[in-house]
Each structure stands twice: as structure tokens, then as C-alpha cells.
């Protein structure tokens, strides 16, 4: 019985594999800048929904507990800041004394720190640095708008009206943050 010589071995040669990897590297390099923009938009959307949810929770807490609840920017330590930048975090607290700070550590319901990626900024509208929900859910005073910005561009807004309703708004592409 005679055996035939073996045929070619299936697979890829070194040259074919190197060429495929080079093409893949070029395609990844072209796609990466677009992916960064997508990632930035997703981070901004996450921040917008997180803030909106926390504000809605504060309103719900004020209604169910029948006591004022305040949300203010904070860097931790159970103290509110007197500035419009919410990027470092915020406090959600029972505002029994209706003053600008929690009366005791037990009044703090949430102390949110570094809630968003460092590339995202949360900036409050001028003149209104905090939201105080009344026991009926109203947020008396001026409307509050929190702008969600990144790389100098506005990605969206979280808006609280006088009735206390929270809504989000996506900005048009390439809208400046200002």
C-alpha cells in the first residue's frame, strides 16, 4: 500500500498574520477618537440621570416624611458649600431648622462624593445653589438648573421648577457650556 505525500498544512502564514494585525491596529486607531466622544457623552448622561434621581428622591422624602429636605453641593464632612459647582458631590438632608446646613449628622440622608467622572462638571444656575423641598413637594424660590458639561461643551441639564418637578434636557451637539 502506498501513502500519498501530505498536502499543505492549513493555517495562516506569518506574513498573513502580520498584515492582518497591521490592518486591525489602523482600524482601532481610527475608531478610538470616536469612541472617546461616545464615552464622554455616556458619562454625561449617567451624571444627568444620577442627579435627577437624587433630586426626585429628596422630593419624595420631603412628601412622605412631611419635613423639608434640602440638597446642596458638598465636598463631604456633612457641610454644604456656598458655590455653584456640584461636581465634587452633594448632601441630601432633613432640614428641620430650615437653615443652610444640617443640624446634626443624623439629619444627613445621603452624602454623595465624587459621583461623576473627573472630566464632567455639574454647575448650578446663578443665584440658586441648593434645592429645599417643602413637605408638600414644592421647591419654592427660583428654578434650579444644573448644567452637565465636559470639555467646554454642554451635554445636558437637570431642571427643578418651583413646583418641585425634576426634568432632564439633552443639549444640542456642540453647545458651549456657559
| Domains in the chain, number | 1
pLDDT at site 3: 65
pLDDT at site 128: 84
Whole domain around residue 53: which residue ranges? 17-176
* pTM as predicted: 0.78
pLDDT at site 5: 62
Instruction: Report the SS3 class of residue 25.
Output: helix
Q: In sequence order, which ranges of 66-160 are alpha helices (DSSP H)?
A: none
Residue 88 inside a domain? The answer is yes
Residue 3 inside a domain? The answer is no
Residue 5 inside a domain? The answer is no
The rounded average pLDDT for each run of 10 residues, N- to C-terminus, in the chain (178 residues) is 66 82 84 78 89 94 95 89 90 87 90 84 86 90 86 90 90 83
pLDDT at site 18: 86
Burial of 175 (0-12, 13-18, 19+ CB in 10 A): middle
pLDDT at site 126: 78
Residue 48 inside a domain? The answer is yes
Please write down the HEC assignment for all residues of 31-47: HHHHHHHHHHHHHHHHH
Residue 30 inside a domain? The answer is yes
Amino acid at each position: 500500500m502506498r501513502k500519498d505525500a501530505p498536502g499543505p498544512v492549513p493555517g495562516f502564514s506569518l506574513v498573513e498574520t502580520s498584515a492582518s494585525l497591521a490592518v486591525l491596529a489602523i482600524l482601532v486607531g481610527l475608531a478610538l477618537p470616536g469612541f472617546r466622544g461616545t464615552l464622554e457623552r455616556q458619562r454625561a448622561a449617567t451624571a444627568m440621570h444620577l442627579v435627577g434621581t437624587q433630586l426626585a428622591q429628596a422630593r419624595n422624602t420631603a412628601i412622605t416624611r412631611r419635613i423639608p429636605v434640602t440638597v446642596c453641593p458638598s465636598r463631604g464632612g456633612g457641610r454644604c458649600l456656598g458655590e455653584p459647582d456640584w461636581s465634587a458631590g452633594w448632601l441630601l438632608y432633613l432640614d428641620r431648622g430650615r437653615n443652610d446646613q444640617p443640624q446634626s449628622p443624623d439629619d444627613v440622608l445621603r452624602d454623595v462624593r465624587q459621583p461623576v467622572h473627573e472630566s464632567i462638571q455639574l454647575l448650578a444656575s446663578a443665584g440658586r445653589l441648593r434645592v429645599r423641598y417643602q413637605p408638600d413637594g414644592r421647591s419654592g424660590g427660583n428654578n434650579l438648573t444644573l448644567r452637565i458639561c465636559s470639555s467646554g461643551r454642554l451635554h445636558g441639564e437637570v431642571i427643578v421648577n418651583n413646583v418641585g418637578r425634576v426634568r432632564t434636557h439633552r443639549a444640542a451637539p456642540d453647545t458651549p457650556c456657559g
